[in-house]
Amino acid sequence: MGEAVLVNRKKFVSSLANELVEPFNELSKKTRLTKTKLLDEAIEDLLKKYAAKDL
């Protein structure tokens, strides 16, 4: 099987602090949102935060 073609997304690789992994997994389970959706929301919030600081 080949790799899925992403149309509206781009892949990137990162890492997460060990102490954040389990809480992040639990948040995904409790909210029933994918980790991808949660990351999108977090990045959007960060971009708004730093845009407000006029960086």
Q: Which residue has the higher pLDDT, 3 or 36?
A: 36
pTM for the model: 0.82
Predicted local confidence at residue 55, as pLDDT: 72
Whole-angstrom Cα distance, residue 55 to residue 52? Answer: 8
- Label residue 33 exposed, middle or buried (CB < 10 Å: 0-12, 13-18, 19+): middle
Instruction: Find out whether 38 and 27 touch, Cβ atoms under 8 Å.
Output: yes
Instruction: Find out whether 24 and 35 touch, Cβ atoms under 8 Å.
Output: yes
What integer is the mean pLDDT of 8-20?
94
Read off the pLDDT of residues 26-48 as tens digits, 9 standing for 90 and up.
999 999 999 999 999 999 999 99
| pLDDT surpasses 90 at 1 | no
Query: In which band, very low, low, confident or very high, does the pLDDT at 49 lie, cut at 50, 70 and 90?
Result: very high
Instruction: Find out whether 35 and 28 touch, Cβ atoms under 8 Å.
Output: yes
